[in-house]
Amino acid sequence: MGDPVLTAEEWKRVRAYDERCRQEIEAEERQPARPNALGELLQALEAEALEEIRDVLEEIGTLTRCRETFRDRERVDTLNVLMWQLRYKLEDARDDILRWRSYAKEFSRV
Range of the domain at 54: 36-109
Same domain membership, residue 40 and residue 26:
no
pLDDT in tens, 27-69: 877 766 666 788 889 999 999 999 999 999 999 999 999 989 9
Same domain, yes or no: 75 and 55: yes
Cα pseudo-dihedral 3, 9, 10, 15, rounded to 10: 100
The domain tally of the chain equals: 2
22 and 40, same domain (yes or no): no
Question: Are residues 40 and 23 located together in one domain of the fold?
Answer: no
d(CA 22, CA 15): 10
Cβ(68)–Cβ(79) below 8 Å: no
Q: What's phi and psi for 106, nearest 5 deg?
A: -65, -40
What is the distance of C-alpha 15 from the center of its chain?
Answer: 44
pTM, entire model: 0.63
